[in-house]
């Protein structure tokens, strides 16, 4: 390895050209490239391993890295807060976006961004995709914690059968959550959770609610409910809001951020990212649960895809069972707040969450790959065709 003495460690986006190291992982050779203090794998290497076509060379000048982020304070909260910062970064020229399709799986990356598409759904990486000398690179952490589990969920270790679903309706009591002209987040989230409970119980699950009425439950007590129940998973239900962008809309879902990775909504890494939290013990099963639920949500309900994300919210950080937090649309968006106010629409969301839980159960029990959004779309087309053929 050749680390330049002139490069300061805090320049985390600076580039060091160093020797390559070959290691064996998943019975295949991964060639690691070191950029500053972080290891990366080339998209060529990833494509070869997963059976994608060989990626094209990118026509870029020199090294392509995102601009360093100004050293403004990073504000973190233990519960989702109203969005006050900028929305996802603007699109970059198509020439910097590479799409790989093996026929059974899809992966799309864009140089300079943390946003990728995996099997038709947005996924946020821990670190931006880089380019160097015509080739594209993804961090080793993102490969092991995000890409590999999405492309081969049946290979995830630590998946355990479960019989109990702990449903956590966000906020409650004096904590109203996000507010719209139609009502409060605390009421919408409880309604979805109660509807999901009925559906899950019909399918034979035991369901425990962190709250079933309009009461306030401290954050640390919510995951503790699931932690004390053997064979359980934890699903926290919320609705979103934006203080600065009335057009913000769509679904997003969070699971525990891997150790060493910044949370999706953090602009840069920090020392806190290195702390081992209880939730890190099951971050891969939690990520698999997030993927199962999110594909089901988008497959059932046509909403904007804001992506599968990572966070260190208290309900995720303190959970010792697979845990996710779902954001079911924006009460601050005029169109979505109208949808959210509809009991029929909330029932549809509850059905989607339950379908996602069932997909995760099949993965945990039988190593059956969860349905992805393309499966739902094919089923929808098939249903339309069947109805059409049955018409007189």
**Predicted confidence band at 223 (pLDDT cuts at 50, 70, 90)?**
very high
CA 208 – CA 168 distance, rounded (Å) = 9
What is the average pLDDT across 33-53?
A: 94
pLDDT at 110 exceeding the cut of 50? yes
**Predicted confidence band at 267 (pLDDT cuts at 50, 70, 90)?**
confident
pLDDT at 72 exceeding the cut of 70? no
For the stretch 327-386, pLDDT in tens is 999 999 999 999 999 999 999 999 999 999 999 999 999 999 999 999 999 988 766 555
CA 282 – CA 312 distance, rounded (Å) = 13
What percentage of the chain exceeds 90 in pLDDT? 74
pLDDT, residue 66, reads 47
Neighbouring residues of 38: CB distance < 8 A, sequence distance ≥ 6: 12, 127, 139, 140, 141
**Predicted confidence band at 387 (pLDDT cuts at 50, 70, 90)?**
low
pLDDT, residue 37, reads 86
pLDDT, residue 385, reads 55
User: How many secondary structure helices (H) and strands (E) does the chain include?
Assistant: 10, 17
**Domains, the chain:** 20-64+91-151 (3.30.457.10), 164-379 (3.40.630.40)
At 200, list the tokens.
């899950």
pTM of the model: 0.87
Torsion of CA 124, 150, 326, 345, to 10 degrees: 110
What is the average pLDDT across 293-299?
A: 98
């Amino acid at each position: 390895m050749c680390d330049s003495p002139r490069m300061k460690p805090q320049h985390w986006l600076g580039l060091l050209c160093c020797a390559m190291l070959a290691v064996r992982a998943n019975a295949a050779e991964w060639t690691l490239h070191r950029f500053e203090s972080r290891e990366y794998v080339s998209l060529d290497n990833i494509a070869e391993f997963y059976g994608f076509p060989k990626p094209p060379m990118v026509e870029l000048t020199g090294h392509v890295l995102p601009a360093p982020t100004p050293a403004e304070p990073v504000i973190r909260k233990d519960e989702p807060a109203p969005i006050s910062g900028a929305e996802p970064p603007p699109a970059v020229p198509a020439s910097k976006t590479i799409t790989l399709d093996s026929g059974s799986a899809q992966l799309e990356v864009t140089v300079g961004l943390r946003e990728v598409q995996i099997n038709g759904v947005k996924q946020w990486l821990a670190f931006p995709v880089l380019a160097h000398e015509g080739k594209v690179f993804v961090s080793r952490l993102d490969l092991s914690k995000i890409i590999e589990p999405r492309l081969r969920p049946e290979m995830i270790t630590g998946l355990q059968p479960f019989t109990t679903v702990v449903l956590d309706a966000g906020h409650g009591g004096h904590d109203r959550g996000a507010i719209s002209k139609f009502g409060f987040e605390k009421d919408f989230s409880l309604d979805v959770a109660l509807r999901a409970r009925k559906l899950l119980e019909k399918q034979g699950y035991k369901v425990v609610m962190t709250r079933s009425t309009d009461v306030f439950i401290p954050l640390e007590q919510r995951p503790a409910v699931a932690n004390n129940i053997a064979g359980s998973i934890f699903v926290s239900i919320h609705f979103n809001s934006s203080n600065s962008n009335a057009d913000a809309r769509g679904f997003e879902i969070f699971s525990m951020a891997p150790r060493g990775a910044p949370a999706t909504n953090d602009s840069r890494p920090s020392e806190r990212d290195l702390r081992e939290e209880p939730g890190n013990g099951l971050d891969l099963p939690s990520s698999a649960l997030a993927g199962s639920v999110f594909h089901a949500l988008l497959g059932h309900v046509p909403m904007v895809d804001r992506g599968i994300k990572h966070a260190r919210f208290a309900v995720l950080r303190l959970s010792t069972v697979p845990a996710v937090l779902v954001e079911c649309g924006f009460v601050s968006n005029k169109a979505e707040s109208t949808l959210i106010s509809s009991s029929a629409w909330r029932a549809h969301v509850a059905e989607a969450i339950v379908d996602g839980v069932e997909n995760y159960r099949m993965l945990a029990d039988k190593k059956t790959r969860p349905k992805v959004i393309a499966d739902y779309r094919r089923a929808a087309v098939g249903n339309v065709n069947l109805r059409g053929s049955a018409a007189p």
